[in-house]
Chain A
Amino acid sequence: MSIKRRTVLTGSAAGVVSLTSGLAAPAIAQSDPIKIGYLPALTGPSSSTGVGINRGTQLAVEEINKAGGIKGRKIELITRDTQSDPTKAVNAVAELTQRAKASMIWGPVNSGEALAATPLIARDKVPMLHPCWVDELIDVKKYPMAFRIAPTNTQVGGGANHYVVDVLKLKKVAVVSDTTGYGTASANTYVPMLKAKGAEVVYTNHVDAANPDLKPELLRMQSAGAQAIMPWSVNAGFLSRILNTRGAMGWDVPVVGQTTLGSGQTKALLEKPENWNKVYSNNFRNCCYVNGKLPPRAADYVERLKKEKIEFADTLLWWVALGWDGAFMMADALKNAGTKNEDIVAYMNKVKDWPGIYGTVTWTPEQHNGFPDQEVVMCEVNSLRDGAFNIAPGYSS
């Protein structure tokens, strides 16, 4: 058999191809940064949470990269501000998953944008980590690559119900919400949960948040014998009117509910500072002061941040901690599983008691909601210092 010139050329060309594909590819891959798509709302009407989470995420990525990155590869955070707008989030998803080929997605950090973006990220088969609370975002059948590092709305409501019924041992409860989708859905979900715990819901109503006078509502609650008020609303005007009316009536009943009860906006609308007494809002056990001290993990973390001159004057510890945990959780997954999506999901499905600053996370193949019920607690809203609150009275430490 004679060796033809063409055969030799074809053979050597094939050899060169196999050599380059066999040798050069890993060399490129090892020096390339690993891309993480990141969708915070840094501007727009619901951006205060996003700004806080962003601070933690940026700090964590800086620290991971300073320590050598992931097996020598730096993390490249591709940030797209959703501007609190679901349409912008959806556009950014296409860019991150299809053009930038991000290995994982962190966010969107607001529920409205997350609801719009999650199906698209799932379609493109990119593993994602959620910091939002809306229950529908996690569904292992529909979105097998989506995981949540925060509590669900059901857990948040359950935490408030647990505090009123089991910790304060109050049985007669008034539940009131505004007429928004969030308000009515929350009240309609939490009232049956309260009843299932054996509480008597003596009064429940949806009220227009713009109603300037809530005295009629509070008088009705009082005459129904309510021992606690549970308002579900993110409207600071509505919440402050409940607190001001309670104060004007001289009615010494606890108000237990969502985090906006403790926001600066609500505080600014109070007629008297005392109207904030006996008001308890959702918070997280790892980020609350117990007997004046933070739990060890959070205390170490705050010390480290203070050394780097990071202040908490304009943000909350749990927001920053959540951002930090998200970045470190993704770095852990990429370090242990590499950048293939199936491997990342397989790794995350087995995460157990992962010790975050914000929460202790556990996932299984059947359950991608990773936050433990017992870490959703209530705090005293008038106790804010250095971005954290005192845990509400009555919890065993």
Chain B
Amino acid sequence: MFASIISYGLAVGAVYALIGITYNVMFSASRVFSFTAGMLGMLGGVLGALFIKDWGINAVLGFVAVLACGAVLGLVTEILTVRPVLKNIEQHLYVLSTLAFALMIQQVTAIEYGTEAYPFPVLIPIDANSILAIVDQKFWLPVLACIVTIVGLEFLYRRTLIGRAFLAIAEDSYAARALGLPETRLRMASYALAGVIGTLAGFTGAQMLLAFIGNQPILNFYGFVPVALGGMGSNRGAVIGGLALGLFQQAANFLVGGIFAAVAVFAVFIVVLLLRPEGLAGASAARRV
């Protein structure tokens, strides 16, 4: 039981954390909560199964193609659903535009690919007797993807000029633009990056979650929880929040089971937000008076 809680909890938690990071990367660049994160996760699984299993493309090329599709979708999201509503961001129209775009893509997937859950291929052929087979790849792949992503993002944001430029627009886009930073191009790059991370989450988690359009609303919601728990814009918070959510959810599955497990997750979520509205890792924002 304990092993099952840890393995499933960490794996699902890593997928939630990556979806949380997807939200954050888009949020940092535009102050917009784009509800396309779950869609990207769902497509990571569906496109991966389509390319590798149905079309017979080699796993590595399939993986690259899925991430490329994610990047393109990220760009399309920015151009079609975010840019037109940025001027009146206080009206929160992005909720409608991003959600509508995500639902459209989900419907197209349902029509073209199907509404059933489909199997996702085993990506890495591992001999059953080798040391790597002790823990199934469906558990360690999303965790590995999460580690690589968070290390990569930390490196990008702290050590590179372009990363610092990202941070600059996240802090104050007006000032950044005044300093001559190409805000629009940087925002587009952020959305492409978010597309890559979102599809990566879905792709690496798909051996566990299957290639299934029903994953979209679940990832949209459970990926948002770590962002709210960890503090908006905080990737470290999202990782801690995501892993904690996965472990807690799996423990609740064992302890109470059935629909009560979902109720337990919601209950903890609400209690945490009541106690710390800014999130566990977020700093409370000082209001200018």
Q: Which residues of A contact B (CB under 8 A)?
A: 45, 179, 205-213, 215-217, 219-220, 235-237, 240, 265, 268-269
State whether A179 touches B259 (Cβ < 8 A). yes
State whether A217 touches B110 (Cβ < 8 A). no
Separation of A220 and B256 alpha carbons in the complex (Å): 10
- Count of residues in B whose CB is under 8 Å from the partner chain: 26
Separation of A219 and B255 alpha carbons in the complex (Å): 11
Produce 1/0 per residue, B242-276, CB < 8 A to A: 00000000100110011101100000000000000
Q: Is B282 an interface residue (CB 8 A)?
A: no
State whether A206 touches B259 (Cβ < 8 A). yes
State whether A269 touches B117 (Cβ < 8 A). yes
Chain B hits for A240, CB < 8 A? 117
CB distance from B237 to the nearest CB of A (A): 24
State whether B210 touches A237 (Cβ < 8 A). yes
Given contacts A237-B116, A269-B117, contact A210 B214 (CB under 8 A): yes
State whether B209 touches A268 (Cβ < 8 A). no
B1-49 residues at the A interface, CB under 8 angstroms: 1, 4, 8, 12
B45-66 residues at the A interface, CB under 8 angstroms: none
State whether B257 touches A269 (Cβ < 8 A). no
Chain A hits for B8, CB < 8 A? 212-213
Given contacts A45-B110, A212-B8, contact A219 B1 (CB under 8 A): yes
Given contacts A45-B110, A269-B210, contact A213 B253 (CB under 8 A): yes
State whether A209 touches B214 (Cβ < 8 A). yes
Chain A residue, CB-CB nearest to B249 = A211
Can you list 26 A-B pairs with a CB-CB distance of less than 8 A?
A: A179-B259, A206-B258, A206-B259, A207-B257, A207-B258, A207-B259, A208-B259, A208-B261, A211-B261, A212-B8, A212-B12, A212-B208, A213-B8, A216-B1, A216-B4, A216-B257, A217-B257, A219-B254, A237-B210, A237-B212, A237-B214, A265-B116, A268-B118, A269-B117, A269-B118, A269-B210
State whether B258 touches A45 (Cβ < 8 A). no
State whether A45 touches B254 (Cβ < 8 A). no
CB distance from B46 to the nearest CB of A (A): 13
Chain A hits for B253, CB < 8 A? 211, 213, 216-217
Nearest 7 A/B pairs, CB to CB? A237-B117, A205-B258, A45-B115, A216-B254, A216-B253, A213-B8, A212-B208
Chain B hits for A212, CB < 8 A? 8, 12, 208-209
Q: Is B215 an interface residue (CB 8 A)?
A: yes
Given contacts A45-B110, A237-B117, A237-B210, contact A213 B4 (CB under 8 A): yes
Separation of A217 and B254 alpha carbons in the complex (Å): 8
A-B interface contact total, Cβ < 8 Å: 62
Chain B hits for A216, CB < 8 A? 1, 4, 253-254, 257
Q: Is B150 an interface residue (CB 8 A)?
A: no
State whether B117 touches A236 (Cβ < 8 A). yes
CB distance from A317 to the nearest CB of B (A): 22
Q: Is B277 an interface residue (CB 8 A)?
A: no
Separation of A209 and B212 alpha carbons in the complex (Å): 11
Q: Is B119 an interface residue (CB 8 A)?
A: yes
Q: Is B114 an interface residue (CB 8 A)?
A: yes
State whether A235 touches B117 (Cβ < 8 A). yes
Determine the main DSSP class of B at the interface with A: helix
CB distance from B273 to the nearest CB of A (A): 22
Chain B residue, CB-CB nearest to A267 = B119
Q: Is B218 an interface residue (CB 8 A)?
A: yes
Chain A residue, CB-CB nearest to B259 = A206
Chain B residue, CB-CB nearest to A209 = B214
CB distance from A45 to the nearest CB of B (A): 4
Chain A hits for B250, CB < 8 A? 213
B196-230 residues at the A interface, CB under 8 angstroms: 208-210, 212, 214-215, 218
CB distance from A84 to the nearest CB of B (A): 9
CB distance from B212 to the nearest CB of A (A): 6
CB distance from A341 to the nearest CB of B (A): 37
State whether B262 touches A45 (Cβ < 8 A). no
Chain A hits for B117, CB < 8 A? 235-237, 240, 265, 269
State whether B115 touches A210 (Cβ < 8 A). no
Separation of A219 and B210 alpha carbons in the complex (Å): 22
CB distance from B34 to the nearest CB of A (A): 22
State whether A45 touches B210 (Cβ < 8 A). no
List 4 other contacts, CB 8 Å, given A211-B253, A217-B253, A235-B116.
Answer: A205-B258, A210-B214, A213-B250, A237-B214
Chain B hits for A220, CB < 8 A? 257
Produce 1/0 per residue, B91-123, CB < 8 A to A: 000000000000000000010001111110000
Separation of A22 and B155 alpha carbons in the complex (Å): 94
Separation of A268 and B53 alpha carbons in the complex (Å): 12
Chain A hits for B118, CB < 8 A? 265, 268-269
Chain A hits for B208, CB < 8 A? 212
Chain A hits for B114, CB < 8 A? 45
State whether A210 touches B212 (Cβ < 8 A). yes
* Partner pick for A236 among B116, B209, B261, CB 8 A cutoff: B116
Chain A hits for B218, CB < 8 A? 210
Question: Which of A205, A212, A217 is packed against the most chain B CB atoms within 10 Å?
Answer: A212
Separation of A153 and B215 alpha carbons in the complex (Å): 28
Given contacts A45-B110, A212-B8, contact A269 B259 (CB under 8 A): no
Separation of A130 and B110 alpha carbons in the complex (Å): 27
Given contacts A45-B114, A210-B218, A236-B116, contact A215 B4 (CB under 8 A): yes
Separation of A386 and B116 alpha carbons in the complex (Å): 24
CB distance from A276 to the nearest CB of B (A): 14
Chain A hits for B4, CB < 8 A? 213, 215-216
Chain A hits for B262, CB < 8 A? 208
Chain B residue, CB-CB nearest to A271 = B119
Chain B residue, CB-CB nearest to A260 = B116
CB distance from B119 to the nearest CB of A (A): 5
